[in-house]
Amino acid sequence: MPLYVMISRPNAAGLHNLVQHPERLDEVRREIEALDAKVIHRYALPNNLSFMTVVEAGNNIEAFRLAVERVSTGRVETKIFPAMDLDLFARLLTQSTETTGPFRWQTSLWARAVRRLLRYDTVTRSVREYCKPLTIEGREHLNDLKGPAIFIGNHSSHMDMFVLFTALPERYRRRIAWGGAADRWFIKGRQGIKKQPWYFALTMNVFPVQRGGGRGALSYAEELLDRGWSLGIFPEGTRTTTGKMGKFRHGVSILALAKNVPVVPVWMEGLRAMRPKGTKEITPGPALARIGPPIHFAPGTTVPDATHTLTRTMERMREEIHHPHRVFPEPTMEPQRAAETAA
């Protein structure tokens, strides 16, 4: 998700409140995250009595809403600025920011045949070389699954897509497409064949998704579901840097409810240690992919409730792996919460 830097300077009333109630610093974090943003870093700037907070937000509108909510307290002056990873900025200085795709040919018979021929070099070899061993659990949950589905996974490593793909039965491997950030994987003019947008489309059937693009960014994904293709999506939108699961975006819920397709949760363990965000080297190690039962949403389910159910389901799967001897209740659909809005 896009990064933003928020500079907040309390006024006299705000400073007095902080002195009297220092626990407000923790409350501010919770208030920010209640607005569908994720706090990455927080710093105090004592020289000018200000605070700097690095947050992830879905788009500029959500970031602006965050700043407005902070100002509305009447105790702080807030400014917010879009931010970008320095390595990505350096690459953008030497290339176009124009994106391309999706390519209509990537679901054609010839592209599917080429993709199958290249599978060992693009996927299987890496999984065999680095996942030692790879344990796949829960495939029996897919025995009765027919038609298109949306497969979701936790996102902690560049290996995630390869392992989730490997965990699927062959009938789904043949007809699955993956959403990828347009501003990272589909920029025109990148150097090297394996960094070209068409290469991702050909080898893994990846299609571009505009971050923070709203419902319009899902139009191609909806078309794929209509044509009987399944989707692989990481609802967190970006890889975790802490090991904790990030806040789910609403895209999966919007698609599942609009097209009445099931969502299959897959929890993957061990991949962050193998290749964490920010590194290029891969350290071999054990990996696990556990497939959960498909989730079918009842008619009338709201988008926030569906997203909440998916989040709770994945959290439960994680806890079952980390604490295998505990008994966990099945996740239930909870009433819509006022703090959540359908994006």
Mean pLDDT of the chain: 85
**pLDDT (tens digit, 9 = 90+) per residue, 213-225?**
556 678 999 999 9
Phi, psi of 219 (to 5 degrees): -60, -40
Say if residue 227's pLDDT is above 70. Answer: yes
pLDDT above 90: percentage of residues in the chain: 47
CATH 3.40.1130.10 fits 104-322, yes or no: yes
Task: Report the pLDDT value the prediction gives residue 192, as an integer from 0 to 100.
Answer: 76
Give yes or no for a contact between 115 and 174, defined as CB atoms under 8 angstroms apart. Answer: no
> So where are the chain's domains?
3-83, 104-322
Say if residue 32's pLDDT is above 60. Answer: yes
Q: Region 187-191: what's the mean pLDDT?
A: 75
Gap between the Cα atoms of 80 and 72, Å rounded: 14
Chain centroid to CA 340: how far? 17
Task: Report the pLDDT value the prediction gives residue 341, as an integer from 0 to 100.
Answer: 35
Q: Which of 46-60, 85-99, 312-326 has the lowest mean pLDDT?
A: 85-99
Say if residue 113's pLDDT is above 70. Answer: yes
Amino acid present at 275: R
Task: Report the pLDDT value the prediction gives residue 92, as an integer from 0 to 100.
Answer: 64
Say if residue 211's pLDDT is above 50. Answer: yes
Query: Between residues 64 and 234, which one has the greater pLDDT?
Result: 234
**pLDDT (tens digit, 9 = 90+) per residue, 245-291?**
878 888 999 999 999 999 999 999 998 888 777 677 888 999 999 99
CATH architecture of 3-83: 2-Layer Sandwich (3.30)
Q: Which of 134-138, 308-312, 336-340 has the lowest mean pLDDT?
A: 336-340
Say if residue 120's pLDDT is above 50. Answer: yes
pLDDT range class, residue 241, cuts 50, 70, 90: low
Task: Report the pLDDT value the prediction gives residue 202, as an integer from 0 to 100.
Answer: 95
Tokens read off for 206: 């990846």
DSSP string over 105-149: GGGSHHHHHHHHHHHIIIIIHHHHHHEEEEEEE-GGGGTT--S--
DSSP string over 243-271: SSPPPPPSHHHHHHHHHT--EEEEEEESH
Give yes or no for a contact between 245 and 155, defined as CB atoms under 8 angstroms apart. Answer: no
pLDDT above 70: percentage of residues in the chain: 87
pLDDT range class, residue 336, cuts 50, 70, 90: very low
Task: Report the pLDDT value the prediction gives residue 1, as an integer from 0 to 100.
Answer: 65
Alpha carbon separation from 84 to 1, 57, 87, 88, 100 (Å, rounded)? 10, 13, 9, 7, 20
Gap between the Cα atoms of 224 and 210, Å rounded: 16
pLDDT range class, residue 52, cuts 50, 70, 90: very high
Rg (alpha carbons) of the chain, rounded to whole number: 21
pLDDT range class, residue 333, cuts 50, 70, 90: very low
Say if residue 61's pLDDT is above 80. Answer: no
pLDDT range class, residue 128, cuts 50, 70, 90: very high
Give yes or no for a contact between 39 and 33, defined as CB atoms under 8 angstroms apart. Answer: yes
Task: Report the pLDDT value the prediction gives residue 153, as an integer from 0 to 100.
Answer: 94
Say if residue 46's pLDDT is above 90. Answer: no
Among positive and negative, which fits the CA dihedral 224, 96, 215, 315?
Answer: positive
Gap between the Cα atoms of 141 and 168, Å rounded: 11
Q: Region 52-64: what's the mean pLDDT?
A: 80
Query: Between residues 292 and 19, which one has the greater pLDDT?
Result: 292
Say if residue 188's pLDDT is above 90. Answer: no
